[in-house]
Amino acid sequence: MEVYKNPKPLCFSLLLSLSLFLFVFASSFVDAKILQHDFVVQETTVKRQCNSHNRITVNEMFPGPTLEVNNGDTLVVNVMNKGQYNVTIHWHGVRQMRSGWADGPEFVTQCPIRPGKSYTYRFTIQGQEGTLWWHAHSSWLRATVYGALIIHPQDGSSYPFTTPKREAPILLGEWWNANPIDVIREATQTGGTPNVSDAYTINGQLGDLYNCSSQDTVVIPVDSGETNLLRVINAALNQQLFFTVANHKLTVVGADASYLKPFTTSVIMLGPGQTTDVLITADQTPARYYIAARAYNSAQGAPFDNTTTTAILQYKSATPCCSTSPVFPSLPAYNDTNTATTFAASFRSRTKAEVPTDIDDNLFFTVGLGLLNCPPGASASNCQAPNRTRFTASMNNVSFALPSNFSLLQAHQQGIPGVFTTDFPAAPSLQFDYTGNVSRSLWQPVRGTKLYKLKYGSRVQLVLQGTSIFTAENHPIHLHGYDFYIIAQGFGNFNSKTDTSKFNLVDPPLRNTVGVPVNGWAVIRFVADNPGVWLMHCHLDVHLNWGLAMAFLVEDGFGELQSLEPPPDDLPIC
């Protein structure tokens, strides 16, 4: 039993009037800004691995432009599609309070922006500080269409840690020498796994360990003694990554635009979608040190890109600068789940968390892969997964299918029938040993566009339970429109009798993406205070393609500011 102790009424009203006072005080001094940007989505020539490649980019930049805002600012981004593919842009981790029309996932909150068309995303950053990012949310375009979104404290406020001398975004990406759109199209046709990438990147560059790349390796100059902030973002499509800097300690101070109690480590792990802010002090012998990232691959036997990307941390006083090669770090083995687990277990929110204790919707979703029997009439070339099947994935045995004639949000808001149903199951219809030897007869899910309806203000607990179907692996599950508290994680099957003792209701981390441990589970909580249709999915893009997703439909509330805003006039329709 968890008991929530209310603060004494007197304290409470004092606190309330104090915060009201601070609010009025603050809002009369802080000018929230409206920041306008143009994003031109177009094909650009990018030279990598000895060759020129045509890739879709934003403003001919790869990675795309870094957006810097202060908490409270409004962003107005006009996206013009001058490329040949449909595109949408998602503002990853932005809460989008009542502005779901600006969230971006194709066919969920909007239809795609077709070639030659444009759409203006308008949204306000409310109460989030730290590092987020933006990326395409259509097909595999996000391989080259992404950038950092940095949220500074409001003017006049400062970080709750040592003010860094310098700051640098570190975008970890994944590079294919083939066009990524062709790679996913081929996999969709064959039913097999897409070709693994050829390289990982740091700020778009591969680094010294790849062919024809060393002259472009990213260099981060530092002065001895200074403390800097690295804003690390995992923008890879399909791979969790370990990240480290040779000989230096990293002090983690935030993740997914929420502050953390600082802790020190030599290596961090990020799933695609996650961000981690680290302080690094230049306290080593002046020299050059490699910054490096490579795979954390939890799925046994699955093919993966086993290469290492590097950048260089370069002390300006190192003399002579480049006579010796940079110091190389030791990185965990690709299957070092212990290191990944220890790291995740170190996260604590900086301040006391507002975790809901009474729960209205108690949910249990399985997450995992599956195999579809070859459809009647399909040829063997379309069924190249093991034993003449096609890969699939599901939550609670529903493999998510996107609509094609209306976005889910438009269908909801305008009451258009036949686009989705609201019967996504609150728990698996069949209980089994999720992480054991699962009978082959359970491996084939059903396709559906099923949403789970939540009343405005509902307090939600959700157990995400990994399965060992086909292969167990760590799935980075991302929820749109919300941050959630990760109150516990573990291995094996979640046990509602004993595992509740592991719940942290005091200072659990607040995130938008949780790595559900390989053959394990994670428990998250949030309050459904943002009306709209919100996709929840695995951020390994190939799993999303296979259907590892569902969506929450959060109803409007009755109060002021509790309902979805009307759609913008230029909202793309299908």
Ligand X SMILES: *[C@@H]1O[C@H](CO)[C@@H](O)[C@H](O)[C@H]1NC(C)=O
Task: Give contact residues for ligand X (rule: CB under 6 A).
Answer: 49, 86, 111-112, 114, 178, 182-183, 186, 195, 198, 210-211, 306, 333-335, 386-387, 397, 403, 405, 416, 418-419, 430, 437, 439, 441-442, 444-446, 574
Give residue number: closest CB to ligand X: 178
Q: How far apart are CA 358 and CA 354, in angstroms?
A: 12
Shortest distance in whole angstroms from residue 183 CB to ligand X: 5
CB 396 within 8 A of CB 549: no
Partner from ligand X, Cu ion, none contacting 419, C-beta within 5 to 8 A by type: ligand X
| Dihedral of alpha carbons 259, 264, 270, 276, sign | positive
Q: How far apart are CA 177 and CA 273, in angstroms?
A: 22
Shortest distance in whole angstroms from residue 449 CB to Cu ion: 19
**E strands present in 379-431:** 389-395, 398-400
Partner from Cu ion, ligand X, none contacting 543, C-beta within 5 to 8 A by type: Cu ion
Q: What is the DSSP letter of 44?
A: E
371 or 528: whose CB is closer to ligand X? Answer: 371
Partner from Cu ion, ligand X, none contacting 178, C-beta within 5 to 8 A by type: ligand X
Q: What is the DSSP letter of 56?
A: E
Shortest distance in whole angstroms from residue 543 CB to Cu ion: 3
Give residue number: closest CB to Cu ion: 538
Binding mask 465-504 for Cu ion (x = CB under 5 A): ----------x-----------------------------
Shortest distance in whole angstroms from residue 503 CB to ligand X: 27
Partner from Cu ion, ligand X, none contacting 183, C-beta within 5 to 8 A by type: ligand X
Q: How far apart are CA 423 and CA 465, in angstroms?
A: 19
Partner from ligand X, Cu ion, none contacting 111, C-beta within 5 to 8 A by type: ligand X
Per the listing, tokens 């390989």 go with 518
285 or 338: whose CB is closer to ligand X? Answer: 338
Structure tokens at 154: 């409001």
Region from 7-15, 237-245, 379-387, 535-543 binding Cu ion, contact rule CB under 5 A: 535-543
88 or 513: whose CB is closer to Cu ion? Answer: 513
Which one, of 565, 513, 532, lies nearest residue 135 by Cα?
513
| SS3 assignment for 63-117 | CCCCEEEECCCEEEEEEEECCCCCECEEEECCCCCCCHHHCCCECCCECCECCCC
Shortest distance in whole angstroms from residue 516 CB to Cu ion: 8
Q: What is the DSSP letter of 562?
A: -
Phi and psi of 476, rounded to 5°?
A: -80, 100
Among 184, 408, 538, 551, indicate the residue that binds Cu ion (CB under 5 A).
Answer: 538
The answer to whether 537 contacts Cu ion (rule: CB under 5 A) is no
236 or 528: whose CB is closer to ligand X? Answer: 236
Per the listing, tokens 């990018």 go with 46
Which one, of 266, 334, 329, lies nearest residue 296 by Cα?
334
| Dihedral of alpha carbons 285, 287, 291, 294, sign | negative
Partner from ligand X, Cu ion, none contacting 561, C-beta within 5 to 8 A by type: none
CB 85 within 8 A of CB 45: no
Partner from ligand X, Cu ion, none contacting 540, C-beta within 5 to 8 A by type: Cu ion
Residue type, 169: P
Residues that bind Cu ion (CB under 5 A): 475, 538, 540, 543
